[in-house]
Amino acid sequence: MRRRCRPLSTELIGGDEKKETKAEPQKDYKIYGLIASVIIIIILMVVAMGPKWDISTNALLQFILVIPVLIINRHFFINAFKALRSGGTNMDVLVSLGSSCALIYSLFGLFMILISCEKGNLEHAEHYSMNLYFDSAGMILTLVSVGKYLESKSKRKTKDAIEGLLDMCPKKIIRIKTDKDGNEIEETVASEDIKKGDVILISKGEAASVDGTIILGSAVFDESAITGESVAVKKEVGDEVISATMIKDGFVRVRAEGVGEESTLMKIVKMTKEAGATKAPIARLADKISGIFVPVIIVIAIITFAVWFIISKDFVTAFSNGICVLVISCPCALGLATPVAITVGMGIGAKKGILFKSAESLERLKSTDTVVFDKTGTITKGIVSVEGEVSMDEVRETSPLAMKLLKEMGIETVMLTGDKKDKALKIAEEAGVSSVRYELKPEDKANIVKELQNEGKKILMVGDGINDAPALATAEVGMAMGAGKDIAIECADVVLMHSDLLDVIRALRLSKKTILNIKENLFWAFFYNVLMIPVAAGVMQPLIGLKLNPMIGAACMSLSSICVCLNALRLMGVNLEKNLSVNTNDLKENISKNDDKNYNGIGCECDLPKTERVEKDMITFAVNGMMCAHCKKRVEDALKAVSGVVSAEADLEKKNVSVETDGSVSEDVLKAAVKEAGYEV
């Protein structure tokens, strides 16, 4: 099935099979490299912190162990070099600087240890052995790599979602053509071979591969995958058929009008891909700060070395002070400021059933000023109904309270639905949304999100169906209900496992608290560094005799990291449950008010409007002239094309046909259809 769709899917995804094949070994290499880095760092820490049976051997072993970690994570240094060469700085520069500082000073210490041991000065060697930071040099790179791997893993979900959409392509398509003698010929072709104007046959259990118009027959269509509407729709000659909708009963001939990239399904695929590729990257505060911080620190370190070398004429003292400035300014705390708070925040969310796929989604959520909701399965329960039964599309118990709290937060709410106007207004009124858009197609939802974005609004889109995928991908943050379709979940940035709209409130609160915590962390990340840099540079030595050696500088650096971590842990006490208890009396009162406004009481099963049930009748009669399987098929097709026919089965041996109808078709009408097909009854 996927093979038939491959030419289109690779074009939309932006690559070919060869490129995807080549990417796999590279992906495996990164995973294996990351695992190797973690294992080596653990061993390195044991060697560095364990008993030193021989000082020089232990120091050399630490150096040997850190080499493969540096090689595996060399991309940090390469990217940092490229950034510096282009005149900018970023987090890679910060990470590389921190690792390089620790490595350079450790190499200096290793050199001094080897010299001291050679001269027999073990006390001097012992002193320098306490100032080796090979493990820190590798640890910085490894921890950041782990974070980046987890982040990139979540970003690959968009591509998987697109391929999931393409899996909806039917396995085969029956195209009907007429030969020169006027006889109809059925041929099976691949989906990409269908052209505008072709006539195709779609039977029970099959999905439409194109958009088009019914020219023969009738069928009951399940359009929930595209429109989000749970009630099956009966369509007849002249009605529109949408690609990816499934026939539950009957059969139709459809004249293709929207084929290939013009079909609704492929428009969804295309919009999902484009939206995922054009999302504006979040401006990282740490990168902005590093643009000033990194060059300043490097200049201060160079000046420190130069001044002390001129004053003391002692290279070791000058080098030690210069390195001390770099070590105390190591961006470990800066590197931890965001990910630690994000990790804690995402952990809190996970315990509440709110799954953030990336740090960006948690950060972007804070800026939301408009929440756009799908209706079916999101604001409502969206219980799928059986053909002929009424739709139990009840508003979720928590929806009105969620809308009320969003309004109190100054956030606008918008409901999008494919429903007709009357039903849409009922649900909107009952749920308490600010505004509603109805009778929408999937592309309309994404366009409305874009329209709101053009007005300067920051959009959170909440949905659960395949039809919501483009809008979820277009919005600043896409949020999917956990009970929804897999493709919607894949396209979303956040998943609500409990399918509870109050979790939207919890997620927004958590985002605001987490971002505030990050800003606090950035303050602590710089507080100790800025305070201690003058001391590290030796400014206080001539005044009060205070000299800060690199070991104390490293301790101060660690202290800022500890402060960052402790501050992040404060998030554990955040209260997300304020005013989130649902008062069922308020809900009943809200429903009662809607009843007074002549709404039909959708919230109560006993008040649901009744729909006409389909009564099925079986009619059997003889047919003469059926000689082969082709005759059998022709008779069955002629009968299935009659409005009101549910199914038809011809028997060549008994020379009769059994027709199941909805009770609205007479036997005479059925016999007339068979006669018109060229057979006697």
Catalytic residues: 374
CB 129 within 8 A of CB 60: no
Instruction: Supply φ then ψ for residue 50, to 5 degrees.
Output: -80, 180
Q: Tell me the CA distances in angstroms from 495 to 58, 474, 478, 487, one per residue in order.
A: 49, 16, 9, 12
Q: 584-596 vs 421-431: helix axis angle to the nearest 10?
A: 140
CB 43 within 8 A of CB 100: no
Helices (H) and strands (E) in the chain, counts: 25, 17
Q: What is the DSSP letter of 377?
A: I
> Tokens for 597?
């406004």
DSSP 521-573: HHHHHHHHHHHHHHHHTTTTHHHH-----HHHHHHHHHHHHHHHHHHHHGGGG
Q: Which residues contact 241 (CB under 8 A, 6 or more apart)?
A: 202, 208, 210, 211, 212, 213, 214, 221, 235, 252, 254
For strand 494-496 and strand 354-356, is the pairing parallel, antiparallel, or unpaired? antiparallel
Q: How many CB atoms lie within 10 A of CB 450?
A: 17
Of 89, 96, 47, the residue nearest 70 (C-alpha): 96
Tokens 């962390």 label which residue?
521
CB 56 within 8 A of CB 125: yes
Q: Across-strand partners of 240? A: 213
Of 161, 158, 200, 171, the residue nearest 5 (C-alpha): 171
The amino acid that residue 445 corresponds to is K
> Tokens for 132?
């080796």
> Tokens for 443?
């592309």
Of 507, 457, 469, the residue nearest 353 (C-alpha): 507
What gap in Å lies between CA 81 and CA 75, rounded to an integer? 10
